[in-house]
Amino acid sequence: MQAPPHGWVCGGTRPVLALHCSLAHGGVWRGLTQHLTGITVTAPDQIGHGKAYDWDGVSDLIGQATDEALSRLQFIGGGAPVDLFGHSFGGVVSLRIAAEHPQLVRSLTLFEPVLFAAARGTKTYDDFRAQHLQFSALVQAGHRVEAARVFHGFWGTGETLDSLPARTRDYIIDRIHLIVAQNPVLLDDAAQILRAGALEALTVPVLLVEGANSPPIIDAVMANLTGRLRYATRLSVAGSAHMAPITHAQDVAQAVQAQLDAS
């Protein structure tokens, strides 16, 4: 059973589904929603996160997340197209829904979707893959704390893992295995999101948002997606990194609102 989603009414009834990043929960969209209007945002906790049920350790994590998000999207939209927000892991799920069910998507706002496979064929991808598999090996060897330090240092908001409140630190450590579970899709596109023609066929407006200080792999991914999505706009947020929709919510809100207004 799905946990009740987070939700905010922002001066309108137009439905938006917002999908959070790994090691977070639906409540992290609160800051951004405070700067938007004309919409009602539904932000579920995705599998393994927040109050959602635990991942079973075997099933296709991204496949399950996609199925649940699709069900939620159809419910809030009543079968009509819905605006999708997705950050990181949630951005990959959002992009997959759009590629497989374009008739259900009104617009896409993607904050650094971590579909690393989009950068295959570049040295940036090769270097990142090697580094990411070293992190994955730490998780698989049971070195969860060290793995969490590595991951948070690379993708976090700038502070060290050990400087976080104990509850937040433990939340990350307890769920660090969920990152490795996504590798087949993120590194190798097991879900075939990047299959020939799928992204090129999308006719909805897409806003691609990235942090100016994010790792080089993000620039490579975003460049590929921008080239394949016909109606994509790319925005770099000065002074921010991977967590821009949380740390720089007000800075990105104007572009997000413009995307909604034009869709």
Parallel/antiparallel/unpaired status of strands 39-43 and 82-87: unpaired
Parallel/antiparallel/unpaired status of strands 105-111 and 82-87: parallel
Which of these, 36, 37, 20, lies nearest to 28 by C-alpha position? 20
pLDDT recorded at residue 4: 86
pLDDT band per the 50, 70, 90 thresholds, residue 2: low
Which of these, 233, 228, 229, 235, lies nearest to 203 by C-alpha position? 229
The answer to whether 108 touches 207, Cβ cutoff 8 Å, is yes
Q: Could you report the per-residue pLDDT of 150-175, keeping only the tens digit for each?
A: 999 999 888 899 999 999 999 999 99
256 vs 34: CA distance, rounded Å:
12
The CATH superfamily assigned to 6-122+187-262 is: Alpha/Beta hydrolase fold, catalytic domain (3.40.50.1820)
224 vs 29: CA distance, rounded Å:
26
Would you say residue 1 has pLDDT above 60? no
| Residue % of the chain over a pLDDT of 90 | 97
The most distant pair of C-alpha atoms in the chain lies apart, rounded to whole Å, by 49
pLDDT recorded at residue 3: 73
Domain ranges of the chain: 6-122+187-262, 130-179
Would you say residue 184 has pLDDT above 70? yes
